[in-house]
Amino acid sequence: MGFKCQRLARVCRFLFNSFRMTHMDPLSLLTCAAILTAPAPIAAADLVPTSPTVPTTTALILGLAQDADAAAPAVEAKSLWTGTVGMGLTASRTDTNTLGFNFNASASRADDLSNWDSNLKYIYNEDDGSVQDNFFIAQTEYDRLFQKDGAWNWFAQGSYQYNETETYRQRLKAFAGPGYFISRTEELTWNLKAGAGTTWDDQGSENGWTARSVAGTNWKWQIRKGINFQGSAEIQNSLKDFESYLAVLELRVNVALEMMENLNLYFSLRDEYDSSPGSGGTWNSMWITMGFSYGF
């Protein structure tokens, strides 16, 4: 490139001087054209063939590893949270048998040490224009292992419920204590628990705060792919009068439907027994619900 630039400069000077001193004749013009179009001399370095760079074995291995990493699809981390929303029909039995509708939702979080389950349910039944059930409950429970891969744990739970047709009208519950996992696998989680706490009734024979003990169990059983069974059973005795107690049983079966991903058919039962319902109260209340839920 430098050689060509020098030659071009000499030619330009030659042409400039020639035009300045004399008129350019045809022979001189041809001579200049030949000089300008003459190829540059070939250097010795130009004779050495250029070979492609050959990668080393290490580079090939690293390159292949990098290509493999680039080609591998990204693995999405599994969320610790799951949830459901559902709606369906309800059959209840108190003093009469009625049919209505229900709405429910739940959220759960699970890791190596703890479980946190929360849910809410609303049930409404009407018979000949008369409200038979107007029931709402929201409850949450948390348990945590004392050590990883152990069985002993502690739990805390609470709930709020409203029932238009019962004498207590509104009720709060809060309990805590130790627990023991009989099983804690992906197929079966089964916890036994006992503790103490309190309940509060807005109205009724036990209105106000009542100190209580609690003993119970809860479980989640993956019977097979697409079918799971979960539930809980508790008895909550008054510490002042141990023969006065509340008992609660909850059962739920979920069946996955193939027609739509994350769509489930559910059946649930909640049974509440009050040993001291008071005047106008109900000893035993049972709700059976079914419907469709969507999981996320």
Taking the C-alpha atoms of residue 271 and residue 250, their distance in angstroms, rounded to an integer, is 7
Provide the domain limits for residue 286: 82-295
Same domain, 41 and 86: no
Same domain, 147 and 266: yes
- Crossing angle of helices 2-21 and 26-37, in 10° steps, is 170
The whole-number pLDDT of residue 141 equals: 98
Same domain, 11 and 141: no
> Is residue 90 classed exposed, middle or buried when 0-12, 13-18 and 19+ CB atoms within 10 A define those classes?
buried
Residue 54 lies in a domain: no
Taking the C-alpha atoms of residue 82 and residue 59, their distance in angstroms, rounded to an integer, is 45
Residue 24 lies in a domain: yes
Same domain, 273 and 154: yes
Residue 62 lies in a domain: no
Residue 61 lies in a domain: no
The whole-number pLDDT of residue 259 equals: 79
Q: What is the mean pLDDT of each run of 10 residues along the chain (296 residues)?
A: 52 50 48 48 53 52 49 69 93 70 95 96 87 93 96 98 93 98 95 98 90 98 95 97 96 92 94 89 91 94
Same domain, 132 and 255: yes
Same domain, 284 and 159: yes
Q: For residue 288, what is the domain's CATH number?
A: 2.40.160.40
The whole-number pLDDT of residue 261 equals: 87
- Per DSSP, 44 falls in state G
Same domain, 110 and 170: yes
How many structural domains is the chain composed of? 2
**Contact between 146 and 152 (Cβ < 8 Å):** yes
pTM of the model: 0.72
For the residues of 74-135, what is the DSSP string, one character each? PPPPPPSEEEEEEEEEEEEESSSEEEEEEEEEEEEEE-SSEEEEEEEEEEEEEETTEEEEEE
Same domain, 7 and 143: no
